[in-house]
Amino acid sequence: MSDTSYFAAFKWVYSHLQSFRKKQFWLLLAAMFIVALFETGSLGTIAFFSSAVTDPENVKSSKYVGVIKQFVDAEFLNSSKGLIYSSGLLMCFLMMVKNVLKALSKYGMARFSAAMEAHFGGLLLNGFLRLPYQWHLSRNSADLINAVQWRVYLGRNFFQPTLNIFNDLLMVSIMLISLFVIQPVVSFTVLIVLSSAACFIYKVIREKIDRTAKTSRNYQIAINKEAAMAIQGIKDVKVAGAENAFVLKYYDRAIPLSKIFGLQKMYADAPVLILETIGFFMLFLSICILLLVFDITTAYMIGTMALLAVTAWKVLPAASQILNSLSSIRNSIPFIQTLIEYVEQIESELDGKDNKDIRPLSFANAVKINNVSFAYEGNKADTLKNLDFLVRKGETVGIIGSSGAGKSTLVDLIIGLLGPIEGTINIDDQVLTPTVVPSWIKITGYVSQSSYIYDGTLAENIAFGIKEADVDRALIKDCCTMASMNEFVETLPEGIDTFIGERGVKLSGGQQQRVAIARALYRKPEILIFDEATSSLDTKNETSIQKTIYSFKGSQTLIIIAHRLSTLEKCDRVIWLEKGMVKMIGSPDKVISLYGKDQIENKGWLK
Ligand code: ADP
């Protein structure tokens, strides 16, 4: 995707807002306009008050008081003290109202930006979780986590500064227009000098900002990816003694990144400093113009100076904040570009596929693998070729084959995580299509080689992904019994409410697999699939888990995948997969003995 411009990004973000947020956005703009009016009004009263205090006699007869008298011809406008009191009171009142409104609009702006972060973070997470499993196979998980975290660039670094720019522009324009009415020459000078200075500064630093922003994004992606990979693979990192290599790679990026952050900060602050310097020169210049060119009274002089000073007091920071916001926006564009790319991928991938129209499914007879072939994206050869067999309801079927034969791929197809490129998988008479998969997954229990245990209680790990209020505690206990883990649960300090996982009680490999079995059972499955569920366990644990698995034989449909022969001896039938094809289907005695011989003859080993 080519570089996104600010306007294109804004248009994209706006078009992805919910309609009530779009309304809120316009309401916010209206609120900002009102605040800007009050802000300008309050500054005008400061100037007026200063003149009134310095030279009330002159102010009383000025054209401004004349205008006010047309509306309110009050007695106090004719007395010096009355004028000072009334203008002072008006100044305080306007300041107070302006500040209350300003606080409210700032609250609205911050809240709106944060709500946008929440919205787009949710959009990404929801999209990532719904995208097909195959899409995830070719993505790095750390990149996806990064993308969800980068929602802050969309809110805090893009939309909040955009609102700030609207806010400041409104305020500066209203102030300068008002100043123009009162003091055209000076305001014209202010406008020309300030805007050309701001444009010049922005033009000079714009390219630098863009360059540093892109480098910063690329470095951050690399740093997070390396750190995530090293920590996720800590065991292998340690075994390979690769700690130093990862740490060095980290520093290779983190050190240059600190220089980039420094530059970004400097580019962001430079406009404020330059404008402040220019502003003071302008204040001095304006007074010189007034003194040299016009014949003015002290009150007028004090009033104009006060007006200029308060305008400068507001306009200069506003102008520099606009530049600051622009640089923040530019810094965030590369991140937003990545987010846009992800959301567009999600939209195009899910277009029509993420069907809400989920069809029910019944499983009474058999799962039929109907001439199925499958190839992974980017792989030239088919991983599975013309598989054709069935698993009858209530049957225990073993699948055997050497590593890389395609067993796990076949399971992913049977579960519905992957779709065949040729052939179909039928549940009874129904083809397993994306609209049926959710119903099929509901009645499928799956246990893999290394089950995912997340930081939470044992109960949460068993009732995985179910809202706390809907959790059936009695069913959890039943599942623990069926998974033969009662003895283990009794040792836990708070039973099924004990925290397990990284920050809780550490589980052994065997205990983890039992939790995974209980999790699979919690769904009241009609078919249980074990993909090398015991292969990473020691012999004692393997035997005991196998016993648990076979305890479901007869009452459940079981598919057990293994490359160890002993695991499959009690199956009704065994399917031997070799290089993605069915080599043999038959009774365990027959298939296992031939498979065993083949392993010894061809590979020279037998597990
Ligand atoms: P098994 O479970 O029998 O060991 P797999 O189903 O894991 O075999 O793998 C079968 C083949 O598919 C292997 O050649 C493997 O390299 C390939 N494969 C597995 N996963 C992927 C993937 N995500 N992308 C590309 N190829 C893959």
State the distance from the centre of ligand 1 to the C-alpha of 37, rounded, in angstroms.
66
Answer whether 383 contacts ligand 1 (Cβ < 6 A). Answer: yes
Q: Report how far residue 590's alpha carbon sits from residue 576's, in angstroms, rounded to the nearest whole number.
A: 11
Q: Which atom belonging to ligand 1 lies closest to the Cα atom of 405?
A: 3
Q: Which atom belonging to ligand 1 lies closest to the Cα atom of 410?
A: 6
More confident residue, 297 or 449: 449
Q: What is the CA radius of gyration of the chain?
A: 36
Query: Given this model, what pLDDT does residue 373 score?
Result: 95
Answer whether 404 contacts ligand 1 (Cβ < 6 A). Answer: yes
DSSP for 544-584? HHHHHHHTTBTTBEEEEEESSGGGGTT-SEEEEEETTEEEE
| Integer CA distances (angstroms), 329 to 9, 268, 270, 502, in order | 10, 11, 16, 38
User: By the 8 A CB rule, do 578 and 402 touch?
Assistant: yes
- For the record, the structure tokens of 240 come out as 């390979």
Residue whose CA is closest, atom 26 of ligand 1? Answer: 376
Mean pLDDT of 7-22: 92
| pLDDT tens sequence across 371-428 | 999 999 888 889 999 999 999 999 999 999 988 899 999 999 999 999 999 999 999 9
Answer whether 376 contacts ligand 1 (Cβ < 6 A). Answer: yes
Answer whether 407 contacts ligand 1 (Cβ < 6 A). Answer: yes
More confident residue, 39 or 69: 39
State the distance from the centre of ligand 1 to the C-alpha of 375, rounded, in angstroms.
9
Model confidence at 2: pLDDT above 60? no
pTM: predicted TM-score of the whole model, two decimal places: 0.77
Q: Among 137, 377, 379, say which to mutate for ligand 1: greatest number of ligand atoms within 8 Å of CB.
A: 379
Secondary structure of residue 358 in the 3-state scheme: coil
More confident residue, 88 or 540: 88
Query: Given this model, what pLDDT does residue 201 score?
Result: 81
Distance of alpha carbon 529 from its chain centroid, rounded?
A: 33
User: By the 8 A CB rule, do 133 and 411 touch?
Assistant: no
Query: Given this model, what pLDDT does residue 355 score?
Result: 58
Among 21-30, 68-77, 364-373, whose mean pLDDT is lowest? Answer: 68-77
Q: Among 376, 412, 560, 561, say which to mutate for ligand 1: greatest number of ligand atoms within 8 Å of CB.
A: 376
User: By the 8 A CB rule, do 595 and 565 touch?
Assistant: yes
Mean pLDDT of 42-49: 84
Answer whether 372 contacts ligand 1 (Cβ < 6 A). Answer: no
| pLDDT tens sequence across 157-173 | 899 999 999 998 888 88
- For the record, the structure tokens of 378 come out as 């980017």
Can you give the length of the chain in residues? 607
User: By the 8 A CB rule, do 458 and 489 touch?
Assistant: yes
User: By the 8 A CB rule, do 580 and 369 touch?
Assistant: no
- For the record, the structure tokens of 501 come out as 């996982």
Mean pLDDT of 456-485: 88
Among 83-87, 310-314, 347-351, 476-480, whose mean pLDDT is lowest? Answer: 310-314
More confident residue, 204 or 299: 204
Query: Given this model, what pLDDT does residue 421 score?
Result: 93
Model confidence at 546: pLDDT above 70? yes
Q: Which atom belonging to ligand 1 lies closest to the Cα atom of 412?
A: 6
Answer whether 401 contacts ligand 1 (Cβ < 6 A). Answer: yes
DSSP for 80-125? HHHHHHHHHHHHHHHHHHHHHHHHHHHHHHHHHHHHHHHHHHHHHH
Query: Given this model, what pLDDT does residue 384 score?
Result: 95
Q: Report how far residue 130's alpha carbon sits from residue 123's, in angstroms, rounded to the nearest whole number.
A: 11
More confident residue, 146 or 65: 146
Q: Which atom belonging to ligand 1 lies closest to the Cα atom of 378?
A: 25
Residue 1, number of CB atoms within 10 A of its CB? 8
Residue whose CA is closest, atom 5 of ligand 1? Answer: 406
| pLDDT tens sequence across 90-114 | 899 999 999 999 999 989 999 999 9
Distance of alpha carbon 12 from its chain centroid, rounded?
A: 17
Query: Given this model, what pLDDT does residue 340 score?
Result: 92
Q: Which atom belonging to ligand 1 lies closest to the Cα atom of 409?
A: 6
What pLDDT band is residue 607 in, cutting at 50, 70 and 90?
very low
- For the record, the structure tokens of 35 come out as 């605040």
Q: Which atom belonging to ligand 1 lies closest to the Cα atom of 561?
A: 2
- For the record, the structure tokens of 503 come out as 């920050």
Q: Among 140, 372, 402, 408, say which to mutate for ligand 1: greatest number of ligand atoms within 8 Å of CB.
A: 408
State the distance from the centre of ligand 1 to the C-alpha of 97, rounded, in angstroms.
68
| Integer CA distances (angstroms), 155 to 333, 335, 455, 476, in order | 12, 12, 29, 41
Q: Which atom belonging to ligand 1 lies closest to the Cα atom of 563?
A: 3
Answer whether 15 contacts ligand 1 (Cβ < 6 A). Answer: no
Burial 312-326 (b: 16+ CB within 10 A, else e): bebbbbbbbbbbbbb
Q: Report how far residue 413's alpha carbon sits from residue 403's, in angstroms, rounded to the nearest whole number.
A: 17
Answer whether 137 contacts ligand 1 (Cβ < 6 A). Answer: yes
Q: Report how far residue 393's alpha carbon sits from residue 550's, in angstroms, rounded to the nearest whole number.
A: 16
Distance of alpha carbon 605 from its chain centroid, rounded?
A: 48
Q: Which atom belonging to ligand 1 lies closest to the Cα atom of 402?
A: 3
Q: In this prediction, what percent of the chain has a pLDDT beyond 70?
A: 96
Q: Report how far residue 93's alpha carbon sits from residue 48's, in angstroms, rounded to the nearest whole number.
A: 14
Residue 440, number of CB atoms within 10 A of its CB? 22
Q: Which atom belonging to ligand 1 lies closest to the Cα atom of 580?
A: 10
Q: Among 373, 409, 415, say which to mutate for ligand 1: greatest number of ligand atoms within 8 Å of CB.
A: 409
Query: Given this model, what pLDDT does residue 32 score?
Result: 92
| pLDDT tens sequence across 521-536 | 998 899 999 998 887 7
User: By the 8 A CB rule, do 559 and 414 touch?
Assistant: yes
Residue whose CA is closest, atom 7 of ligand 1? Answer: 408
Q: Report how far residue 554's alpha carbon sits from residue 572's, in angstroms, rounded to the nearest whole number.
A: 10
Query: Given this model, what pLDDT does residue 603 score?
Result: 61
State the distance from the centre of ligand 1 to the C-alpha of 405, rounded, in angstroms.
8
